[in-house]
Amino acid sequence: MRIATDVAEGIKFINDHGVSYRDLNTQRILLDKNGNACLGDMGIVAACRSIDEAMEYETDGYRWLAPEIIAGDPESVRETWMSNVYSFGMIIWELVAGEVAYSAYSPVQAAVGIAACGLRPEIPKDCPQVLRSLMIKCWDNCPSNRPQFMEILSTLVRSSSNSNSKTR
């Protein structure tokens, strides 16, 4: 919950300042020595030995991309803040499941499944209901039906507060 809340706070902060984070995925989340999550963009500075390595790195991001971004014309598609909401839902799934989404698929197979077939990862049975509900909302095919980051953050904070009060 803490990592998800930190990431949601970071994205909300960036959005509040008129910036849309591109390529949101678990590879972009950095943890400090106290376990606080921060957003980074290490992909831009990654050293690649060959052009093929760089291309594979780029296509691997399909696992987290929203269907409208995958299906769009690369020349005309405009990433929206709501596309980041979809990616955030994928991050929650990976935090809960403890594995990489669509690991049995190549990045291209995952992309086709997400955009053309409505593929979503199976939510683990032991997933807390609040996170299950949040993932399903974040993965809605219609971007305007996805929750805003303010709502996501409110849900996570409320859930954390309820959990803390029950343990006292």
Which listed residue (23, 41, 60, 140) is catalytic? 23
The total of other beta-carbon atoms located within 10 Å of residue 45's CB is 7
The three-class DSSP label of residue 30 is: strand
To the query of whether residue 23 is one of the catalytic residues in this protein, the response is: yes
For residues 22 and 99, the answer to whether their CB atoms sit within 8 Å is no
- The model's pTM is 0.83
| 71, amino acid identity | A
Q: Tell me which amino acid residue 83 is.
A: S
Phi-psi region of 128 (alpha: psi -120 to 50; beta: other; left: phi over 0): beta
Q: Tens-of-pLDDT digits for all 168 residues of the chain?
A: 999 999 999 999 888 887 777 778 888 899 999 999 998 874 443 344 444 443 343 445 778 888 988 887 555 566 677 888 999 999 999 999 999 999 999 988 999 999 999 999 999 999 999 999 999 999 999 999 999 999 999 999 998 887 765 654
The rounded Cα 44 to chain-centroid distance in angstroms is 18
**DSSP E strands: which ranges in 35-101?**
37-39
> Which has the closest alpha carbon to 59: 111, 105, 20?
111
